[in-house]
Amino acid sequence: MKVIACYKWVLDEADLKVDAKSRALLTDRTKNKISEYDRNAIECGVQLTEQVGGEVVALTAGTANSKNSLKDALSRGPAQAVWVKDELMSQADSAVTAKILAGAVRKIEEFDLVVCGEGSSDEYAQQVGIRMGQLLNIPVITFVNKVEVKDGILRAERKLEEGIEVVEVKFPALITVLPDVNTPRIPSLKQILGAAKKPVQELSIADCGLSPADTESKVSRESVLGTVMERKQIRVQGEVTEMVQQIVDLLNKEGLC
Amino acid sequence: MSQIWVISETQSALLELVAHAKGIAQGESIVAWAFSTEAAQAASKQGADQVIELTGAKRPEDYTSAMIERAQSEIPIAILWGSTRRSKEMAARLAAALDAGLINETFNLKREGQSFRAERYIYGGLCVAREVMETAPFMAIMVAKTAEALDEGAACHIETLTNSETKIQMIELRPNLATSNLGDANVVVCVGRGIIKSEDIELARRLASKLGGELGCTRPVAEDLHWMPEENYIGISGQMVKPTVYIGIGVSGQIQHVSGIRDSKTIIAIEKNENAPIIEAADYALVGDLYQILPALLSSLGA
Ligand SMILES: Cc1cc2nc3c(=O)[nH]c(=O)nc-3n(C[C@H](O)[C@H](O)[C@H](O)COP(=O)(O)OP(=O)(O)OC[C@H]3O[C@@H](n4cnc5c(N)ncnc54)[C@H](O)[C@@H]3O)c2cc1C
Ligand SMILES: Nc1ncnc2c1ncn2[C@@H]1O[C@H](COP(=O)(O)O)[C@@H](O)[C@H]1O
């Protein structure tokens, strides 16, 4: 079976800072990473192909900077990668991104399953994968936390507010996964070295079949403002009994004990 | 007459959405899509101008094609959705089919003529982004509980619709019986991955009940470790809390979690790593081993 796993190369939000005065976002010391839940998406594809045979193609769309992601992604098990590279990706909204990715999937031809993360770490728009499925006219199963493939049928468990919904679908299909679907493996040194030898296909947005009108975002971003939280930031250190006493006093003052 | 649509498979969200729609309507009629007779009747009395009741399918998502078909001929000026996982799936499919923008977890929605402005959090809640959309339909998933249902009035017409898709076979639904009162709690005790065994959560539970509060957790404690129900995790993608006192125990304080506790009056952290982000996000940080501090705190409170 052929699985396409979509991942996004994002800024690591743990490195991001906000300037307390201007509330501007400071990105200068920020590293990139594979979006958190997309590691689960890649792992999901790899585990399924380990069980029933086949291979995983990793798919990402990004600016030139996302080149660095390819080795990282390929060290996690996919056999090859497809990289849509365009500076326009720095501004693409979810609608445009989904069109590009759907176009890239069409170029990959024969596939059984597309796996996406439930949401990206930076935008968390929770829609690019679902949109892709709709554009490709294949069934979509969202918020999956358990998945198995048997005799060409995919059975998935979805975690919803009202409970666990178990569904089945025939291929081709698209799923979006939750982080508890698996624990992504940590690539070994050998896998990291091996990743450099795996094939990467580079595509432009035009290669994905988009017209200039298709690349126009529907949602434009007017401003981004950091949130600031005023906190006392008092460190309570020392003997455990003294620390505890301070907190008990505090809880007392609030009338809680 | 042009329309504003509101769609949710839960009745309470549907009624909130009708109120949101009233707030942005400029003469458009409000069409509510309901997934049960009860919700359809409620919406018909509480502000909707027209109600479409969907019946016959096993899952709400199975009506998405029917919605797409109707939207393609009607082109509503705006479509507002409730904030549930099923709605997010339906909304994104509709948005793709109509080539429309869709803003997730929207607040502060404003309209000027044909342009809609709204805000949402990005980077796990570190920033607020203000976004604009100028082409119809404007689509947004509204943050829950940001509007009050309207008062009852005369009932409007309810139309029923039955066409649904069958590509996905529903095998079973195992209902989730857990509920959470975290959003309204005056005290929230939250456990993170710093807790070593699931049994140790009992210590935190004792603290919560002594202080008359509720127990919550971080997303990995619920999702990766399965030590607490999903309803109990706090953060940007889970419950938002606003207690008088929040006590985090073995919680590192990543931005996605801190975004959910931002409205707490006082934040207390018990954390052994003095470089953990929770230390700066807290009013009082007890820097040390929770396995020493927590038992001592319990005994001095007589819990
Ligand atoms: C898109 C997205 C959405 C997310 N949404 C949420 C969300 O809504 N809510 C959420 O919580 N997370 C969310 N996360 C996950 C978030 O990024 C963090 O991974 C998570 O909050 C960390 O949980 P934790 O603090 O329990 O675990 P860890 O980060 O592992 O922290 C455990 C802490 O315990 C401390 N510790 C260990 N032993 C002891 C001890 N004996 N005594 C005292 N301290 C100890 C450690 O020093 C450490 O700081 C999201 C992530 C993404 C990508
Ligand atoms: N630029 C991208 N390249 C590849 N996959 C993406 C990209 N953006 C989003 N995705 C996929 O879509 C999912 C949902 O993203 P989002 O809608 O931004 O929350 C992610 O988890 C990825 O699997």
CB spacing of B123 vs A13 below 8 angstroms? yes
Q: Provide the token pair at B281.
A: 């996000």
Q: Are residues B114 and B203 in the same domain?
A: no
CATH assignment of the domain containing B223: 3.40.50.1220
Which residue matches tokens 């009082």?
A: B284
Q: What is the pLDDT of residue A145?
A: 96
Question: Does B170 reside within a domain?
Answer: no
Q: Provide the ipTM.
A: 0.96
Last residue of a domain, one of B113, B129, B162: B162
Residues 46-105 of B with CB under 8 A from A: 59, 84-86, 88-89, 91-93, 95-97, 99-105
Question: Does B248 reside within a domain?
Answer: yes
State the Cα torsion A25-A27-A32-A36 to the nearest 10°.
-20
Q: What is the pLDDT of residue A109?
A: 80
Q: What is the pLDDT of residue A160?
A: 95
Question: Does B142 reside within a domain?
Answer: yes
Backbone angles phi and psi of A145, in degrees to 5:
-120, 5
- Please report, for residues B201, B211, B228, B276, the alpha-carbon distance to residue B206 in angstroms, rounded to integers and kept in the order given: 9, 9, 15, 25
Q: Are strands B245-249 and B266-271 parallel, antiparallel or unpaired?
A: parallel
Biggest CA pair distance of chain A:
68
Question: Does B43 reside within a domain?
Answer: yes
Q: What is the pLDDT of residue B251?
A: 98
Boundaries of domain holding B186: 182-301
Angle between helices B290-301 and B201-210 (to 10 degrees): 30
Q: What is the pLDDT of residue B266?
A: 97
> Which of B88, B132, B223 lies nearest to residue A180, judging by beta carbons?
B223
Residues of A in contact with B170 (CB under 8 A): 165-167
Chain-centroid distance, C-alpha B12: 12
Residue type, A225: L
Q: What is the pLDDT of residue A229?
A: 87
DSSP state of A134: H
Cα A135 to ligand 2 centre (Å): 15
Q: Are residues B215 and B289 in the same domain?
A: yes
Q: Tens-digit pLDDT profile for chain A (257 aa)? A: 999 999 999 999 999 999 999 999 999 989 999 999 999 999 999 999 999 999 999 999 999 999 999 999 999 999 999 999 999 999 999 999 999 999 999 999 899 999 999 999 999 999 999 999 999 999 999 999 999 999 999 999 999 999 999 999 999 999 999 999 999 999 999 999 999 999 999 999 999 999 999 999 999 999 999 998 899 999 998 899 999 999 999 999 988 88
CA-atom Rg of chain A in angstroms = 22
Domains, chain A, in order of start with CATH, read: 2-227 (3.40.50.620)
Q: Is A165 left (phi over 0), alpha (psi -120 to 50) or beta?
A: beta
Residues of B in contact with A160 (CB under 8 A): 84-86, 176
Question: Does B176 reside within a domain?
Answer: no
Q: Are residues B111 and B217 in the same domain?
A: no
CATH assignment of the domain containing B59: 3.40.50.620
Q: Are residues B200 and B279 in the same domain?
A: yes
Q: Exposed/middle/buried for B177, CB within 10 Å: 0-12, 13-18, 19+?
A: exposed
Q: Are residues B25 and B153 in the same domain?
A: yes
- Please report, for residues A207, B35, B82, B186, the alpha-carbon distance to residue B86 in angstroms, rounded to integers and kept in the order given: 33, 12, 9, 30
Q: Are residues B146 and B252 in the same domain?
A: no
Angle between helices B290-301 and A240-253 (to 10 degrees): 50
Last residue of a domain, one of B134, B162, B190: B162
Angle between helices B64-74 and B85-98 (to 10 degrees): 40
Residues of B in contact with A20 (CB under 8 A): none
Cα B145 to ligand 2 centre (Å): 28
Q: Are residues B112 and B22 in the same domain?
A: yes
Q: What is the pLDDT of residue A209?
A: 97
Q: Are residues B219 and B292 in the same domain?
A: yes
Question: Does B173 reside within a domain?
Answer: no
- Count of other CB atoms within 10 angstroms of residue A52: 15
Q: Are strands B214-217 and B187-191 parallel, antiparallel or unpaired?
A: parallel
Q: Please tell me if the CB atom of residue B227 comes closer than 6 angstroms to any atom of ligand 1.
A: no
Q: What is the pLDDT of residue A245?
A: 95
The CA distance from A62 to A86, in Å, is 6
Q: Are strands A2-6 and B284-287 parallel, antiparallel or unpaired?
A: unpaired
Kindly state the helix (H) or strand (E) to which residue A56 belongs, with its residue range.
Answer: strand A55-62
Q: Are residues B84 and B232 in the same domain?
A: no
Query: Does the pLDDT at position B274 exceed 90?
Result: yes
**Does any CB of chain B come closer than 8 Å to the CB of residue A12?**
no
Does residue B1 contact residue B26 with C-beta atoms inside 8 Å?
no
Residues of B in contact with A19 (CB under 8 A): none
**Does any CB of chain A come closer than 8 Å to the CB of residue B119?**
no
Q: Are residues B201 and B60 in the same domain?
A: no
- The arithmetic mean of pLDDT across residues B122-130, rounded, is 97
Backbone angles phi and psi of B25, in degrees to 5:
-70, 140
Question: Is B271 in a helix, a strand, or coil?
Answer: strand
pLDDT band, residue B175 (cuts 50/70/90): very high
Question: Does B167 reside within a domain?
Answer: no
Q: For chain B, how many structural domains are there in total?
A: 2
Provide CB contacts within 8 A for B280, sequence distance 6+.
Answer: A231, A233, B253
The CA distance from B247 to B230, in Å, is 19
Does residue B80 contact residue B48 with C-beta atoms inside 8 Å?
no
The CA distance from A105 to B166, in Å, is 24
pTM for this predicted structure: 0.95
Q: Provide the token pair at B282.
A: 């807290």
Q: Are residues B108 and B36 in the same domain?
A: yes
Chain-centroid distance, C-alpha B86: 12
> Which of B176, B282, B287 lies nearest to residue A162, judging by beta carbons?
B176
CB spacing of A225 vs B95 below 8 angstroms? no
Q: What is the pLDDT of residue A257?
A: 80
Q: Are residues B76 and B107 in the same domain?
A: yes
Query: Does the pLDDT at position B177 exceed 90?
Result: no
Q: Provide the token pair at A149.
A: 């493939």
Q: Please tell me if the CB atom of residue A8 comes closer than 6 angstroms to any atom of ligand 2.
A: yes
CA-atom Rg of chain B in angstroms = 22
Q: Please tell me if the CB atom of residue B257 comes closer than 6 angstroms to any atom of ligand 1.
A: yes
Q: Please tell me if the CB atom of residue B289 comes closer than 6 angstroms to any atom of ligand 1.
A: yes
Query: Does the pLDDT at position B280 exceed 90?
Result: yes
Question: Does B174 reside within a domain?
Answer: no
The CA distance from B114 to B116, in Å, is 7
